[in-house]
Amino acid sequence: MIDLSEQALSVVEIHATAWGLPTSAERVAKRVCSTMDEISNFYDAMLPHMEEILDYLNQFSLDTIPDNVKPIAWTALAMCEVDNPVRWKSVTLSSGFDVLGMVPKSSFYDSSFVA
Amino acid sequence: MNIATNVSLPAQGSDALGIEKLPTDFYVCENHYRSELENVFSKCWLMVGRETDLAKSGDFFTYKIDALSVSIIVVRGKDGIIRAFRNACTHRGTKIVTEERGRLRGGMICPYHGWAFGLDGDLLNVPDEETFGCLDKDNEGLHTVSLDKWGGFIFINLDPHPQWSLKEYLAPLGEDLIKYVGDEQWTWSFGWKSRVKSNWKSPVDAQVEGYHITYGHRRTISRNVTAETTRPYINPGSIGVPGGHHLFRPEKLGEQTPIGLLAARYGATSLYAEPEKEFAANNFDQLAFSQHPRWILDGYLLFPNTVLFVQKGQLFIQRTLPLSPHECLWEVDFYHSEKPQKFGEKFNHEQGRIQIRDVLSEDLKIVEGIQENYRSGAIKEMNLSRQEVIIRAYYHSIRQFVEEGSSR
């Protein structure tokens, strides 16, 4: 088991408080209510360490990632959420439907809608 | 099956269905809408679930079409057979189950007066039966709904005597696709739902033509798939599968983000980056273009309301249901053939899903705007290119049902 470098760990720890959210729904909500500066700061800090972070997390079986490591995984997943905004230089896409209006389903059969 | 491994792509649509403009009133007209409910949604096969989700006797799910006030129970019986019934007690019409899915122990009991039905729909017990003057229990079972299966998916048809068997309806999809899609390993992994202020057909239109990709998705996927690399086709004579398309990567990919490239190391579900991971999926090699070096996915329009996207290791399905001429329930569901074992694979799924979500969000925004312009009468006819030939085929199928319905 190879540990994260101190440098990578310190970056993740700084950002895990804000971005280390357990679900996709929470991460997109966090993105939408963030400023572009907050998003860019997070992205720029994390990006140089992403390869190392993924290598580190891949040492665990997904089902047995220890609780104290989970926030690192969630923070890494949040990078997928901010990837497009960084490219767009915009928190949301003006040509897009409100992504918060795309409600996560719990199963194929979860079709009912509470407005 | 002639497996394509060379770089020549199929034709980019056709003019076979004509070149004339099409009217837009079938997206807004109240009469047309009611006719669609009566003659399309009440006559066609509709995808409602997956066989593997009803693994054991008593497992059930419900399916609703609110615009028709239809509620259906789909349940696996003690004999292993999956059946569909109207979710309505034959006593006085109470809904028997209210949950969207679950497991029934032994049978179905109406919550109002306790009439008890077997998993095969038979009426088994009526409390105080002797107080009914002339109750013939043998004829008071739950009302059966037509049901059949294709590729592991369950379809229902509200017509008690469907004009086509499901096999006939979906015939253009072929046996190789049945084997691939029908693999029991496919597991639902994620989905979104939304109420969209457009006619129910418009989100379908957006998923069956690639002409809009180059400009409409310039902020998302057009670096990695373009109108030119989307190859649509029609199935003349098929009602169930009016057409489909194959998506290929361009010869030279556009610029990828570092996150996209990182995700692509761990799977194929990020649609638009070249996957480095190889998947072993049942019968995948037999799909027509699966060996083509630039193939991304195949899309199929399953008439009337479903678009099935088939790719390596992932299926995603868009379904719409009408709520009014101007609003629909929109759903997208993902199935994966392999459960992520390592974080990298989860990262790949997450990145792919978010990319697709942002692409779909562009489509939904556009179709809502279109609806306003059709509704206001600003645009009474639409122009269609040969790249949009499936929309023409779709229109003809809808029209056939509506006209046949009005002549009955």
Residue B89: CATH number of its domain: 2.102.10.10
Is B106 domain-assigned? yes
CATH code of residue B219:
3.90.380.10
Which of B:294-323 have CB within 8 Å of A? 321
* Unique residue bearing structure tokens 């220890």: A66
Same domain, B190 and B318: yes
When pLDDT is averaged across residues A72-90 and rounded to a whole number, the result is: 97
Range of the domain at B117: 46-157
**Which pLDDT does position B163 carry in this prediction?**
94
Same domain, B199 and B114: no
* Beta bridge pairs of residue B118: B107
Same domain, B59 and B182: no
Strands (E) located in B337-387: 381-382
Q: Give pLDDT tens digits for B200-214.
A: 999 999 999 999 988
- The letter for the amino acid at B140 is E
Is B4 domain-assigned? no
Same domain, B288 and B397: yes
Strands (E) located in B252-346: 295-302, 306-311, 314-324, 327-336
- The letter for the amino acid at B363 is D
**Which pLDDT does position B2 carry in this prediction?**
44
Same domain, B135 and B187: no
Q: Give pLDDT tens digits for B318-374.
A: 999 999 999 999 999 999 888 889 999 999 999 989 999 999 999 999 999 999 999
Same domain, B34 and B67: no
Mean pLDDT rounded to a whole number for chain B: 91
pLDDT at A115 over 70: no
When pLDDT is averaged across residues B264-281 and rounded to a whole number, the result is: 62
DSSP state of A9: H
Residue spans per domain, chain A: 6-91
Q: Give the pLDDT band of residue B272 (cuts 50, 70, 90).
A: low
Neighbours of B385 (CB within 10 A): 15
Is B13 domain-assigned? no
* Unique residue bearing structure tokens 């004579």: B237
Q: Give the pLDDT band of residue B264 (cuts 50, 70, 90).
A: confident
Is B6 domain-assigned? no
**Which pLDDT does position B1 carry in this prediction?**
41
What spatial distance separates the first Cα and last Cα of chain A, rounded to whole Å?
47
Choose between B78 and B6: higher pLDDT.
B78
Is B212 domain-assigned? yes
Q: Give pLDDT tens digits for B17-62.
A: 888 999 999 999 999 999 999 999 999 999 999 999 999 999 999 9
Q: Which positions in chain A touch B62 (Cβ < 8 Å)?
A: 109
- The letter for the amino acid at B183 is D
Sort residue B146 into left (φ over 0), alpha (ψ -120 to 50) or beta: beta
Among B125, B157, B189, where does a domain finish?
B157
Same domain, B138 and B208: no
Angle between helices A24-32 and B343-375 (to 10 degrees): 60
Residue B75 exposed, middle or buried by CB count within 10 Å (0-12, 13-18, 19+)? buried
Contact between B87 and B100 (Cβ < 8 Å): no
Percent pLDDT > 70 in chain B is 94
Distance of CA B48 to the CA centre of its chain: 8
Say whether B343 and A88 touch across the interface (CB within 8 A): no
Q: Give the pLDDT band of residue B15 (cuts 50, 70, 90).
A: confident
Same domain, B110 and B179: no
Q: Give pLDDT tens digits for B153-199.
A: 999 999 999 999 999 999 999 999 999 999 988 999 999 999 999 99
pLDDT at B280 over 70: no
* Six token digits for residue B277: 């991971």
Number of domains chain B contains:
2
* Unique residue bearing structure tokens 């969209």: B196
Distances (CA, A) of B351 to A65, B80, B85: 20, 39, 39
When pLDDT is averaged across residues B141-149 and rounded to a whole number, the result is: 98
Nearest-neighbour CA in chain A from B306: distance (Å): 13
Q: Which positions in chain A touch B87 (Cβ < 8 Å)?
A: none
pLDDT at A104 over 50: yes
Mutate to test the interface with A, among B318, B341, B354, B367 (most CBs of A within 10 A): B354
Q: Give the pLDDT band of residue B3 (cuts 50, 70, 90).
A: very low
Say whether B63 and A65 touch across the interface (CB within 8 A): no
3-state SS of A27-95? HHHHHHCCCHHHHHHHHHHHHHHHHHHHHHHCCCCHHHCCCCCHHHHHHHHHHHHHHHHHHHCCCCCCC
- Read off φ and ψ for residue A59, nearest 5 degrees: -75, -20
Among B157, B186, B209, where does a domain finish?
B157
Q: Which positions in chain B touch A61 (Cβ < 8 Å)?
A: 341-342
Residue B342 exposed, middle or buried by CB count within 10 Å (0-12, 13-18, 19+)? middle
Distances (CA, A) of B333 to A109, B15, B192, B367, B390: 10, 32, 7, 20, 22
* Beta bridge pairs of residue B86: B72
Contact between B389 and B383 (Cβ < 8 Å): no
DSSP state of B220: T
Neighbours of A32 (CB within 10 A): 14
Residue B376 sits at the vertex; the CA angle it makes with B371 and B381, to the nearest 5 degrees, is: 70
**Which pLDDT does position B178 carry in this prediction?**
93
Is B119 domain-assigned? yes
**Which pLDDT does position B267 carry in this prediction?**
80
Neighbours of B138 (CB within 10 A): 8
Same domain, B277 and B378: yes
Lowest mean pLDDT among B105-119, B153-167, B270-284: B270-284
Q: Give pLDDT tens digits for A21-49.
A: 999 999 999 999 999 999 999 999 999 99
Q: Which positions in chain B touch A62 (Cβ < 8 Å)?
A: 340-343, 345-346
When pLDDT is averaged across residues A10-18 and rounded to a whole number, the result is: 97
Choose between B227 and B370: higher pLDDT.
B370
Is B7 domain-assigned? no
Q: Give the pLDDT band of residue B7 (cuts 50, 70, 90).
A: low
Q: Which positions in chain B touch A47 (Cβ < 8 Å)?
A: 258-259
**Entry pTM:** 0.93
Q: Give the pLDDT band of residue B279 (cuts 50, 70, 90).
A: low
Closest CA to B177 of B269, B283, B248, B271: B283
CB hemisphere CA count around B282 (13 angstroms): 15
**Which pLDDT does position B271 carry in this prediction?**
55
Q: Give the pLDDT band of residue B277 (cuts 50, 70, 90).
A: low
The verdict on whether omega for the bond into residue B232 sits within 30 degrees of 0, i.e. cis, is no
Same domain, B396 and B361: yes
Same domain, B28 and B135: no
* Contact B98/A at CB under 8 A: no
Same domain, B194 and B220: yes
